[in-house]
Amino acid sequence: MIYTIGYIYVHLVISGGIIINIKKTSKEISKELNRIENSINRKLNSFYNSVIKGSMLPIESLQQKHAATIKNIIRKTVQDSYLYGSKIVTKQASDVNTEFVDFVSVTDIQNIQNITERVSAQFWKTAGRLHRREQDFILTPDKQLDLKPAFDTTAAMIGLGSFAVFNAFNNASFSKLQQIATQEVLITAEGRLNITGRVLFGPDFADLGIIQGRVTFVTQRDDKVDPDICAPLEGTQYDIIEDAGDPVLEQMSTYGQMHNHCRCILVPSLDVDVAPESER
């Protein structure tokens, strides 16, 4: 069920008295994601300016030669952002049950790979537009050929950086909650993955209560927030099971952004409704 808490942030109480402060958590998340984003922005800018800008080779040749380099840069960023989002969820899980074993599943690895491929493809598409623009001419009123004004390379790389970082983090927030709430992967007592399609959340945990995963849509709360798309969603919570298929949740969990340059995040929270002993 979707419900909105508006601009007044509440504490989400988890069993055992554990409390998640959405406002505080979102600030911590934004700080870390901004650090990762700044790092990839520098690397992409440096790569474009040193390798692509001014090159006489077609973008297809440059891509063939340097695809692995770009993929490595992007994969590192995607992996750092994804694992950070995953860690937030698994930390909540271990706070609820100390016998919970952290894990990286096949689903996680596939998600990181898919996001890496998606962002890499977008990099070369964007780089191609920038590169071709450098060689575009216009006919001036006095019948002279002149180069068209170049596109803003820095802005383009910032857009790609935010796409990689927020896509990975928001995908991880949703996916990890979903894996735990739907018991997708089994962790043995020794901490080894067992491919059976379930999660062991501590001994006999399934009998203790209902696991619920929720995400809260949080903007950066500044003048860059889109007033029509993102601002109205501030503070909205989504249950990852009950609200599956909701267009906002679908967009954010799949593509990580509501629009280009979107910096909104899905703050995860794991809730466990503990059943009375008589019902276990």
CA 30 – CA 264 distance, rounded (Å)? 9
In this structure, how many other beta carbons lie within 10 angstroms of the beta carbon of residue 230? Answer: 21
DSSP single-letter state for residue 48: I
- Please give the pLDDT value at position 210: 54
Q: How far apart are CA 115 and CA 254, in angstroms?
A: 9
Q: Which domain holds residue 173?
A: 3-275
In a domain, 52, yes or no: yes
- Tell me what pLDDT residue 214 has: 87
How many helices (H) and strands (E) the chain has is answered by: 5, 10
Residue 71: alpha-carbon gap to chain centroid: 17
How do beta strands 11-14 and 186-187 pair?
A: unpaired
Cβ contact 92:18 at 8 Å: yes
CB 61 within 8 A of CB 131: no
User: The pTM is what?
Assistant: 0.81
Q: Report mean pLDDT in 10-residue bins for the chain, 280 residues.
A: 37 43 87 96 96 94 97 97 94 77 87 97 96 73 65 92 96 90 50 37 45 86 94 92 91 91 91 52
Q: How many domains is the chain built from? A: 1
Residue 214 carries which DSSP code? E
- In the chain, which residue ranges form alpha helices assigned H by DSSP? 22-47, 59-96, 106-134, 153-181, 247-255
Q: Is residue 280 part of a domain?
A: no
Residues counted in the chain: 280
Indicate the DSSP class of residue 34.
H
State the Cα–Cα distance between residues 262 and 256, nearest whole angstrom: 8
Residue 254: Cβ within 10 Å count = 15
> How many Å apart are CA 257 and CA 22, to the nearest integer?
19
Query: Would you give the distance in Å from CA 149 to the centre of its chain?
Result: 33
Sequence-separated (6 or more) residues with CB below 8 Å from residue 85: 168, 169, 170, 171, 172, 173, 176, 268
State the residue for tokens 């694992």: 83
Is 49 part of a structural domain of the chain?
A: yes
